[in-house]
Chain A
Amino acid sequence: MIRLPDNTPDRHRPQRTETATEALERRVLQELSRRTPSPDLTRTIMGRLGYMKAAPQVVRRRRIRRWINRLSLCALALIVVAGGAQVHESGPHARRPRGPTIPAAIGNDVNLHQQRIKGTIRMIRTLAPAAPSRPDDVLDEEVDRSAIGPFRWL
């Protein structure tokens, strides 16, 4: 008969005279309850939970990396949203207004005013006296310079 350790639970102790197969089965199951040494994972788990102190440089590097990750994620999200909106707007399913929109109306109004102002400027230019046909440096010597000017004929 095999001598069982003192801490063997009752469930692993033979209840009656057992056959060889039963004894083997019991030993197999008893072997299962034997203590299995495990690697010490305490430090790793504590580290993952944020309980392990890290060097200031490491902390700073991690913080920078975290911010870079966040910013790139935001940028990526913005690009995706903008791209999506662009695709949607250019697609056939985009809802378009029937009449003119407010920005279009403002644009038209600005254009109209621009045209009017241009017209006014053009009209003012036509009213102004014509510029001399030749530049000053090519005028004849005998021409009286004081005669040139808008006040000569007034």
Chain B
Amino acid sequence: MMMKRSIERELIRQAKSGDGRAIEALIRAHQEALFAFILRMSGRPHVAEDIVQEAFVRVLKNLDRFDTRFRFSTWLFTIAKRLYVNASQKQRPMYDTDAVSIQQGTTQAPVRLSARAEIMNNMRDLIDVALGELNDRQREIILLFHQQNWPIAVIARHLSMPEGTIKSHLHRARKRMKRSIMADHTLQARAEEVWA
């Protein structure tokens, strides 16, 4: 849920003057979206947690340098993305489906999973495989557009790219995701199950 710009500006003004409650409100407003984004980028919950923490600490320590003409989330995501790039140079992203599922709140409980939960698990597997096939740039654009619901214009500004390039990246990424799902027979069967 995006915060109103006027409220965000006011919180930033208060946070700059050292108001702990404003800082807390900013963290609470953005941590979920940022965590979901980095979790999907990295595929590892503990890496996502570290990056989110570090990104918030850096951003809030340098709040004086924040230009209020831009969105706070854009700045936060930029810092987090840089941290992710640094972290991924040390270790490649690995899609640990179980870990992501646990993070999404559906652990394999001893009781039999309902048909709905099973379908959702299959869906998550599909997403993980499909995202794993994308390169970092395509994954980032897909996530910003479909997960974070950022408009094309905002993504273009955020990544310093023309809108047309973003659209073509989106198109190619979707095509690649579809191909990766359809290429695998097991995944295809799961996909049909999901669709049935």
Contacts and interface: CB of A to CB of B under 8 A. Distances in A.
- Same complex origin of A and B: yes
A31 B145 CA distance: 13
A8 to B, nearest CB: 11
Contact of B195 (A20, A34, A35, A48): A20
A48 B52 CA distance: 13
A11 B182 CA distance: 22
A25 interface: yes
B57 A48 contact: yes
A42 B22 CA distance: 12
Chain B contact residues: helix, strand, loop or mixed: helix
B35 A31 contact: no
Contact of B52 (A24, A25, A30, A41): A41
Contacts of A27: 123, 194-195
Given A32-B143, A33-B146, A39 B49 contact: yes
Contacts, number: 97
Contacts of B192: 20
Q: Using C-beta atoms within 8 Å of the partner chain, give the interface range for chain A.
A: 20 to 34
Contact-residue size bin, chain B (C-beta under 8 Å from the other chain): 35 or more
A38 B36 contact: yes
Given A25-B174, A45-B56, A51-B24, 17 more contacts: A11-B145, A20-B195, A21-B178, A24-B178, A24-B195, A27-B123, A28-B127, A28-B181, A29-B174, A36-B36, A36-B39, A37-B105, A38-B35, A38-B39, A38-B52, A42-B31, A44-B53
27 contacts: A9-B149, A11-B145, A12-B146, A21-B178, A23-B195, A24-B178, A24-B181, A25-B178, A28-B181, A31-B127, A32-B146, A36-B39, A37-B32, A37-B104, A38-B35, A38-B36, A41-B31, A41-B35, A41-B52, A41-B53, A41-B56, A42-B28, A42-B31, A45-B27, A45-B57, A48-B57, A49-B60
Closest 4 CB pairs of A and B: A38-B35, A36-B36, A32-B146, A51-B20
